[in-house]
Amino acid sequence: METATRLDPSCAMAWWGLGRALEKHGPLATQAPKAFKQAGLLRASADAREQALIRAALLERGLEPGAGDGDARKKAAMRALDELLAQFPEDEEAWYARAQLGGGAGGFGGSVGGIPFYHALLRVNPLHPGANHELVHFYETFRRPALGWDHANRYIESSPGIPHPFHMQAHLATRLGRWERTTDLSSKAIEIEQTYHKNMTIKPADDHQYAHHMEILMISLIHEGRFLETRKKIEDCRKDGLNNQAVWLKMAIATRDEVMARETIDKLYKTDRSQAAYGAGMWAWVNGNIPDMKAQVDVLRQMRQTNKNDKPAELRLLELMGLLACEEGDCTEGLVLLKRCVDRTKDDHQAHSWGNGAKHMESWGQGALKAGNHAQSREAFLEALAHDPGSVTAALGLKILSEAEGKTSQAARYGDLANRSWRRADPKDLKSLEEWMRGRSNIKAIRSQVVNSGN
């Protein structure tokens, strides 16, 4: 729009569009009123529809004489748009502006009041990128991610040369367990973005969406066990000046990479001590280092005393305490703590974002395997699969349990599920994970419980 105003400074709609672009994000938002005012000065040369759009924008922002204040301005703008749509029901910009006023002005889908207008707009143009984008956001926060999936696909179809549509589906897919699809599409987003940086000589750090897009891609790659590809993306991040220490620590723990683990933990301690202590504790857990686990539990416990309102920190403490108790033989207390984490998050929609829906259930199941608790380990892993069909930890856990129960065909099916979940991983990594889980499972106690229960 800025280019359009330079090429044709007398075009009223170019200034209207520039105002819309400026006001959403960034330090240039304060310049938006100037652009709208210029659109108002030039509107006489615009057609009737464009004049109505400009007038509605001026009314909404109090830049039109007689607009009033506060709610009166908003109502006047809505009335102007309603009158425009009554005459021109096919006007896409009017529908979008009306949706924004109806509840979408805050972005990220907005409130439910704007949704009927987005749907009306899609009847005019099923591939409208703005409406589809907002509906993806809305249905994620509305707790109906499956309802947004068609809009995610339409958003991609509408704008195949832009990276953000290929990323947006991940908001839904990581909740729905569509891991292979989301990883491929997120990879496409990064491919387009890196080409854009190269062709336009853009510094990656100046692209504010790039870091987030890369973060979600790496989360997806790690979830699928695609560690070689993840390492390449970490190299890209470092080259581009991006910092995703929390994700890199997840990678280090998954691959038992001590150098990366120590590096990321040290850096996290400077910015987020709770996350760093938790990560250090989980690193100690996967390596069987009980003294280090105790030390990190103490750090988290001390931090808890000074900030009792930090819920994520509390969950980290409870999870690490639960796993530690199971390692030390206090299995009853350990499983109570791990189950408490599950109970506090299983209905927490925010806690399920970016593939974390099964996280605490997996830890509960791992603790129960260590404790030799057949019933709780099975319940935990079944719950994990219900929340994340791509949970390889849950699939392997149920394979181990089914073998202990003597159910060989069922064990084979869970093994197949694990193989499908990590179909594009190095088979050695899947084998290594399974061996680690078997090595820490109290199979003898589980078999005894199976025999005693008559299953």
Tokens (6 digits) for 157: 């179809």
Q: What tokens does 328 get?
A: 């030390």
What is the per-residue DSSP string for 217-264?
HHHHHHHTT-HHHHHHHHHHHHHHT---HHHHHHHHHHHT-HHHHHHH
Confidence of residue 49 (pLDDT cuts 50, 70, 90): very high
User: Closest Cα partner for 334 from 395, 383, 285?
Assistant: 285
Q: State the pLDDT confidence band at 70, using cuts at 50, 70 and 90.
A: confident
Tally Cβ neighbours within 10 Å of residue 127. Answer: 13
3-state helix/strand/coil string of 163-214: HHHHHHCHHHHHHHCCHHHHHHHHHHHHHHHHHHHHHHCCCHHHCCCHHHHH
Confidence of residue 455 (pLDDT cuts 50, 70, 90): low
pLDDT the model gives residue 454: 65
Ranges 67-71, 148-152, 213-217, 228-232: which has the least confidence: 67-71
Nearest by Cα to 87 from 114, 122, 52? 52
Least confident stretch, 10-14, 22-26, 156-160, 289-293: 22-26
Contact between 320 and 296 under an 8 Å Cβ cutoff? The reply is yes
Element (DSSP H or E) covering residue 128? none
Q: What pLDDT score does 350 carry?
A: 85
pLDDT at 150 over 70: yes
pLDDT(431) > 70: yes
Q: Residue 249 above 70 pLDDT?
A: yes
Taking only the tens place, the pLDDT of each residue in 185-209 is 999 999 999 999 999 999 998 998 9
Q: Among 261, 168, 254, which Cα is nearest to 216's?
A: 168
What pLDDT sits at residue 313? 93
User: Is the confidence at residue 380, as pLDDT, over 80?
Assistant: yes
Structure letter (DSSP) for residue 139: H
- Furthest C-alpha separation in the chain: 87
Q: Do 27 and 58 meet the contact criterion of CB atoms below 8 Å apart?
A: no
Provide the token pair at 27: 């330090």
| Confidence category of residue 39, pLDDT binned at 50, 70, 90 | very high
Amino acid at 90: E
Helices (H) and strands (E) in the chain, counts: 26, 0
CA dist 419 and 425 (Å) reads 9
Over residues 287-303, the pLDDT tens digits come to 999 999 999 999 999 99
**356-390 in b/e burial notation, b at 16+ Cβ within 10 A?**
bbbbbbbbbbbbbbbbbbbebbbbbbbbbbebbbb
Binned at pLDDT 50, 70 and 90, residue 277 comes out as very high
d(CA 318, CA 312): 10
DSSP letters along 4-35, please?
A: HHHH-TT-HHHHHHHHHHHHHSSGGGGGHHHH
Mean pLDDT taken over the chain:
95
Nearest to 338 by CA among 313, 359, 309: 359
With beta carbons less than 8 A apart as the criterion, state whether 391 and 421 touch: yes
| Tokens matching residue 273 | 């001590």
Q: What is the pLDDT of residues 156-194, one digit of tens each?
A: 999 999 999 999 999 999 999 999 899 999 999 999 999
Region 325-329: mean pLDDT is 96
Q: DSSP secondary-structure letter at 125?
A: -
Burial degree of 431 (CB within 10 A; 0-12, 13-18, 19+): exposed
Residue 36's pLDDT band, with cuts at 50, 70 and 90, is very high
SS3 assignment, position 109: coil
- Tokens describing residue 89: 């029901």
Residue closest to 128 by CA, chosen among 158, 149, 172, 164: 158
The position carrying tokens 């529908």 is 95
| Four-CA torsion 6, 12, 16, 21, nearest 10 degrees | -20
Distance, in Å, from the CA atom of 100 to the CA atom of 85, rounded to the nearest integer, reads 14
In the block, which residue shows the tokens 């260590």?
370
**Region 395-422 average pLDDT:** 97
Phi-psi region of 203 (alpha: psi -120 to 50; beta: other; left: phi over 0): beta
> What is the C-alpha end-to-end distance of the chain, expressed in Å?
69
Q: Give the H or E element holding residue 389.
A: none
Place of tokens 């930890």: 393
For residue range 96-128, what is the model confidence (pLDDT) as tens digits? 999 999 997 777 889 999 999 999 999 999 999
Query: Is 453's pLDDT higher than 80?
Result: no
Instruction: Write the CB contacts of 391 (distance below 8 Å, at least 6 apart in sequence).
Output: 358, 362, 381, 384, 385, 421
In angstroms, the CA 416 to CA 356 distance is: 22
